[in-house]
Structure 1
């Protein structure tokens, strides 16, 4: 069951004022999609809440705060580090502001499909990466889920080749790797927070942006974006992140409940987002966008221009080791199929 708590200030929430579980453990859980069951993050959150409370006989009271009610990604990550927030499902660009190596997943055109991505993320590479993040930040990476395969949209013209990107003012997440991606293609990048993006597009502050179909629909971005190019340049991620201080304070049975229930939430989150990814052309066409699906040769042209530039930037910013390990894990996953 979802506790609909409408508190007047974030400070009150973060302090746990008015908690319904004064004698138990309160798990404040925030995410950044609307609080509707047709939204992958929220459907997953509801499932996690039900699962954890049942498995722990309500010794953990899960309180869900959708649509960024507890502040932006940066403030949520700081809350996780400080222990004032227990769980946040955060997008990749936001995570990299606290743990820069997360940028490695933005290496363009690295994952050819969902199956390959899941093998890499759920395998040895994903575990090693999460362990490194925990050691550096005190934030426990419980699971990786989909933020949608990212595509280009804009209000000016169709994007079929890298040359079509030149001169476009494009919004990016506040992460250097996305700036490098846009610059490699000749576009002019502008870092804008997600909450400000719909207004920036509507007002013409930027011509376009890049996101998966789930976020395009969640933010109603199609209202000011006429053209979509389904190039799939980045396999974008959400991560289920927990304060390790909170996790370590749980009883063993409660830890097992969290570990089990987050897998259930991740599965729902992935399944819903993947279904939208696979129907992107239909979904975006139905809301009035002009959708272009690049050929394999056209995507190869984008890859040849963008990947070397971004890879070099990543080697400098996150280290050549992480880049090499991701490429090796991806090749291994593809070979195992």
Structure 2
């Protein structure tokens, strides 16, 4: 994982003077659709814009649907000041390696536990650490939600049911290690080729959030859905730190309030879409399996060791974040 250090030393001041960013006109970018009734980032960014413009003299221009590039492009743009604010998920770990720990499989038993952890001491500590690593302030967290497995062969209720099956995953080591640990064979296939790979049997299954499974009509190729919640995706609402520090105290507070509300709205849209999506998938003929607590423990025991070993090697001195997250989840679960 690469790390990019942010050289403050007046960079934001120079960029503002050059017109790249402005304290009066903020540029908010993300890669999701602009439909704020179904898109988590779309809804979050619109709420952020409305609140900021109502409470301050600033304006917020929205750049949705990857119009300013990929998530990597958005993080880099926020670092160099050509973008004021970005809302990104997994790609942030390419810049702050410790952020990858939230993708450890079967870490969060439920969304409310994830919210308590990310909005509490752990989330704040991670934000502070990543600020030092990247020069980007985390204003608040949202979510991309839980990911689940689908396949065309058989119901999956435990890791034993995955043996011998091929699953399309993102070409990210963490996901490759997870699927191998569960006894299946991971296949790194480009996103645009997934429907064909499913339809022709190149792979038996795939994994994604419910909204993606339904939105891409994967029920046409996949009979079985397993609600195993193997990875909980976190959204990070990021702002250029020098730009943030150039604002008045009242404007800083307004941005932070707006971001918290925006993240909460994004979570709500994601949760509603997931719940509605499961019902729609059942209507389309998918057979849904909800593993029991004991079966979920089997999934966790099979998938976590290899992923944690990989991350400990990758993170080096930052590997402490693996244990800090585990402790935070244990505390939240016990409450």
With structure 2 as the length reference, what TM-score do the two structures score? 0.84
* Deviation of 1:34 (Å): 1.8
Which residue number corresponds to residue 66 of structure 2? 68
Contact persistence 2:141–2:260 (CA under 8 A): no
- Alpha-carbon displacement from aligned partner over 1:125-171 (angstroms, at most 9, x marks no partner): 11110111110111211111121111112344332221332343333
* Deviation of 1:89 (Å): 1.4
Segments of structure 1 that go 5 or more residues without pairing to the other structure are 1-14
* Deviation of 1:42 (Å): 1.0
Contact persistence 2:31–2:66 (CA under 8 A): yes
Q: Is structure 2 residue 42 aligned with structure 1 residue 42?
A: yes
Distance 1:244 1:192 in 2: 36
Distance 2:197 2:25 in 1: 37
Which residue number corresponds to residue 223 of structure 2? 226
- Alpha-carbon displacement from aligned partner over 1:257-308 (angstroms, at most 9, x marks no partner): 2111011111111122223344553232134433222222222221121122
Secondary structure of 1:68's aligned partner = coil
Which residue number corresponds to residue 275 of structure 1? 272
Q: Is structure 2 residue 320 aligned with structure 1 residue 321?
A: yes
* Deviation of 1:201 (Å): 4.8
Matches within 5 A, 1:229-248: 229-248=226-245
* Deviation of 1:43 (Å): 1.5
Equivalent pairs counted in the alignment come to: 316
Secondary structure of 2:94's aligned partner = coil
Contact persistence 1:34–1:218 (CA under 8 A): no
* Deviation of 1:228 (Å): 1.3
Which residue number corresponds to residue 3 of structure 2? none
Which residue number corresponds to residue 286 of structure 1? 283
Secondary structure of 2:319's aligned partner = helix
Distance 1:252 1:198 in 2: 50
Residues 216/249 of structure 1: CA separation in 2 closer, same or farther (3 Å cut): farther
* Deviation of 1:214 (Å): 2.7
Distance 1:166 1:25 in 2: 56
* Deviation of 1:206 (Å): 4.4
Matches within 5 A, 1:164-175: 164-175=161-172
* Deviation of 1:329 (Å): 1.1
Which residue number corresponds to residue 120 of structure 1? 117
* Deviation of 1:104 (Å): 0.5
- Alpha-carbon displacement from aligned partner over 1:17-64 (angstroms, at most 9, x marks no partner): xx9xx986332222222221222221121111111111113x2x2111
Segments of structure 2 that go 5 or more residues without pairing to the other structure are 1-14
Off by >6 Å, runs of 4+ in structure 1: none
- Alpha-carbon displacement from aligned partner over 1:168-211 (angstroms, at most 9, x marks no partner): 33333343222211121233334456677556656766443222
- The alignment's C-alpha RMSD in Å is 2.8
Contact persistence 1:148–1:211 (CA under 8 A): no
